[in-house]
Structure formats: C-alpha cells, structure tokens
Amino acid sequence: MKAVVAAQVRSVVVVGAGLMGRGIAQVAAAAGYRVALVDVSREALDQGLAVIRANLDKGVRLGKMTAADMHAALDGITPATELQACCADADLAIETVTEDLDCKREVFRRLDELCPPRAVLATNTSAKSITEIGAFTNRADRVVGMHFFNPAHLMRLVEIVVGLETAADTCTVAEAVARRMGKDTVRIRDFPGFVASRINAVIGNEALHMLMEGVASAEDIDKAVRLGLNHPMGPFELGDLLGWDTKLKVLEYLHETLGERFRPSPLMVQYVKAGRLGRKAGRGILDPGDGPSPE
Ligand SMILES: NC(=O)c1ccc[n+]([C@@H]2O[C@H](COP(=O)([O-])OP(=O)(O)OC[C@H]3O[C@@H](n4cnc5c(N)ncnc54)[C@H](O)[C@@H]3O)[C@@H](O)[C@H]2O)c1
C-alpha cells in the first residue's frame, strides 16, 4: 500500500495536547487542515485549546492573521479524549505523547489499527528510534519522524527523520505538510539525537566544561557565543530556559548510545543534583534567583 500523496492530505490527527501537541495542532489548523486534537487528559485538552486561542489572538493583534482566519483555524480543531472517535478519515497522524516508549508503542498500535491503511503516522519524539517505533505497526514504510521544536508555533525547523523502513514518498508527504505549516525541513537518517539536539548537547556540555576549568564566567561564555558566533542565546541562557535536567537526560542517552565523547560534564550533574534546573525551578546557573518561581 502506498502512502497518501501530499496534496490529498486534509485531515490531521494530533495525539497529545501537551506543550508540543498544542503548538503543532495550531500550525496545522492555521495551514487549513482539519485537525483532531486527542489527549487522555481533559484538562490538557482544555489548557491546550486555551493556549492556541491566546496565541492566535496575539497573531491577530500583531497583524499576522485576520480575525476570520483565526476563527476558521479554531473551528478547524476538534478536541477528543478517544482516538477511536477521530481516526477513520485521517490522512496523517502526528504523535506527541509523553517521551516513553511503552506509551508510544500503545499509541502507534492503536493508530495502525484505526487509521486508513494509506495514512502516514509521524512521531515528534526527541530521541527515540523511528525504526523501532515503525516496528510497532504493520506499516513501517509509512512511519516517519517529524521533529518540531519548542515552541512549535514559532520555531521554523522540522527535522524529517527517516527510519530504516520509511519509504521515500512518506518523507515527501511529511515535508510537504511541514512546508504548508510554514516550516522549513531537513531530512535526517534515524540516529540518536538527530541533528539539532545532538549539536546543542555538545555545545551545552562544552560550556559546562569551560566553566569548570575556570576559562570564563557563565555570563562571558554566553556573551562570546552570542556576539562571536551569532547565536541568539548563549548556552547557559538556553540551558536555564530548557531545564538542565532535560539537557542531562539527552546527554546521558547520547553517551549511552554514541560513546565517550558525550559523557556529561560533572558540573552539569552537580547543578542537577543541587536542584538548580533553570527557570522552572526558580534557580539555574546564570541567575540563582530567590527560590521557586510562582509559575
Ligand atoms: N518539550 C519539548 O521541548 C519538546 C521538543 C521536541 C519534541 N518533544 C517531544 O514531543 C513529545 C511530547 O512532549 P511534550 O513536551 O509536549 O510533553 P507533555 O508532557 O507536555 O505532553 C504530553 C501529553 O501527552 C498526553 N498523553 C499521554 N499518553 C497519552 C495517550 N496514550 N494518548 C493521548 N495522549 C496522551 C499527556 O496527557 C500530555 O498532555 C515527546 O516525545 C517529546 O520528547 C518535546
């Protein structure tokens, strides 16, 4: 069975309405797709829809879209707590559930069962193997990675990750849909960390090594990277924003799968053990702050 062709994609199911799913549902609806947003948690769905409404409203206030387009996008999103209710006419499903392989296995098993055979099944996993996820289904040739970045409604890149069995026409569908959502794409072979996360992991780790060696202060390392390399943020500002525990997990995974050169800096491990995880904990590396923030 061949995958649906890109021009025929009308109906997109986004599974998971968390941080990533809501952003992906927003850009899909704004691109004119009919979107079903599915989450096991009613609360996550309500919160997701409220965030989408606020983001689109801001878009109207900034003159990026008309009020009519905003209403059309909102009308195009149907929330659901059951996959069964919305997969029958799906052309594409994008899975954005919790980063847990057992959870993803169950979702892909159900999607494979419920979606039409020609539908493409995509995963937004940050690190899991697309090849392994494809093997949870009977259509590994129609399973592909669509790795969006956070916040998904603003970040321009989608990494299209190609599993061992992923067919070329499946990648073409994923790329065309991403472009219609206003994104740019790169095509990547399934390998730990893909491209952007792997490079970013090395930069963050090296910055911690430099801090530990006393090469410069965290502020000056950030300034050097911003002004000398033209990055919009230095590695410490970015780590404080994303969370050092998350960065450490990525490094540990890369260390385990790709070897010694990804061994996490002992100083990063120490900051995580101290609970200085970044903004979400009210204390990071750059600005220790006064304790947990009320957010
Ligand atoms: N947060 C990021 O910066 C980021 C960036 C790129 C990719 N990702 C990846 O995207 C995925 C989602 O991450 P997130 O940050 O949005 O997580 P999140 O925890 O904010 O959201 C996950 C959602 O999935 C829902 N869920 C769990 N099991 C489900 C099921 N069986 N069916 C339907 N919904 C279910 C949860 O209720 C939750 O609302 C993960 O694979 C993650 O690695 C995250």
- Structure confidence at residue 288 (pLDDT): 57
- Structure confidence at residue 42 (pLDDT): 97
Contact of 108 with 120, CB cutoff 8 Å:
no
| Residue of minimum CA distance from atom 28 in ligand 1 | 97
pTM higher than 0.75 for the full model?
yes
Say how many Å lie between the CA of residue 103 and the centre of ligand 1. Answer: 10
Q: Compute and round to an integer the Cα radius of gyration of the chain.
A: 20
Best residue among 45, 83, 96, 159 to mutate for probing ligand 1's pocket (most ligand atoms within 8 Å of CB) is 96
Q: What is the pLDDT of residues 224-277, one digit of tens each?
A: 999 999 999 999 999 999 899 989 999 999 999 999 999 999 999 999 999 999
With 80 as the cut, is the pLDDT of residue 47 above it?
yes
Name which of 70, 68, 86 is nearest 78 in CA terms. Answer: 86
Q: What is the pLDDT of residues 49-86, one digit of tens each?
A: 999 999 999 999 999 999 999 999 999 999 999 999 89
Tokens 């792997």: give the residue. Answer: 198
In angstroms, the Cα distances linking 234 to 99, 195, 207, 221, 241 are: 26, 19, 9, 7, 11
> Which residues have CB under 6 Å of ligand 1?
15-21, 38-41, 44, 96-99, 103, 107, 124-126, 148-150
- Structure confidence at residue 287 (pLDDT): 67
Q: In whole angstroms, what is the distance from residue 184 CA to residue 248 CA?
A: 28
Say how many Å lie between the CA of residue 266 and the centre of ligand 1. Answer: 29
Where do the domains of the chain lie, and which CATH numbers do they carry?
A: 6-189 (3.40.50.720), 196-281 (1.10.1040.10)
